[in-house]
Structure 1
């Protein structure tokens, strides 16, 4: 386990990040799964065009350009930008949510079973002061995994779609969300937000 940063409380377990060592065979399996799931990850029927993190041909510059365009297109109105960071996004991504998102996107049952099997029976073990502690995991993406970013992108897609369908403007870059709300008055913006 590594301390996330020097300013963290060393007595708080949440201040530590487990080191995930993936074997060559695990990385190979992740690469094969990623290639098989690629059409699902990129399907415009599901993949939000408002997600810019871990997406091919989309960058921070593209996101900034889009946000500035939204601001420029509302010159006579007020605009509020609400910024969120999803703390511990990768550490707290529930495996059931990943499997549900994949199932809702219609992946074949055998591939879904393989993903479920790949995510199951994971554990983290820590050693210290002559004590060994093992904890079974039911959530989280291993640090440095090939599939982690794509699995993360599956989950906020639905949120971005709901906001867009309601007439809102929300964009994500990895685990950062920006919500843009415009209106003719502060009261209107507060009501819409």
Structure 2
């Protein structure tokens, strides 16, 4: 709450101001708890004395408001740093997986593989890292939190005869899902983790048939 709003409240009668201050203190406490759940080591919110005189209560509200603004800014900055660190970690892991897959599959000119403990975001990062290393289609599957993630990547020069989105549309129903995207890049998902081997086999069959 800004200082201008506090000054307006000061003109309100004492009883109304005290009631408003108590309600505002509750709102501030809830907001602080949300911020503290995001970053546990934030500085504690100044105490609100509910039995203080009206001017003192309003001063407390203003002090708490200024404190919350600082905490909120600190949490935003921390979240940005965490997001950057997480993105860097994701890219590093994806690069390692892509290197391993390229070593195994480069001679085949295609990749059909499961990536362990991978969600859609990791699969896409792996696919992006694999594209410069593999000349043909790429199909990746991962399971995370009980869901199946699918990714298909097709080089642009091959997309006239083989499309990533069509591959996903063919394979996703096998794992009880659906998907789509562009001819060069498509994603899908499903919930039937018991059929991932069938999905991989079908992707292999479709890609091989196109390459014949």
TM class, shorter-chain normalised? under 0.3
Q: TM-score, normalised by structure 1?
A: 0.23
Q: TM-score, normalised by structure 2?
A: 0.21
Structure that is richer in helix per residue: 2
Structure that is richer in strand per residue: 1
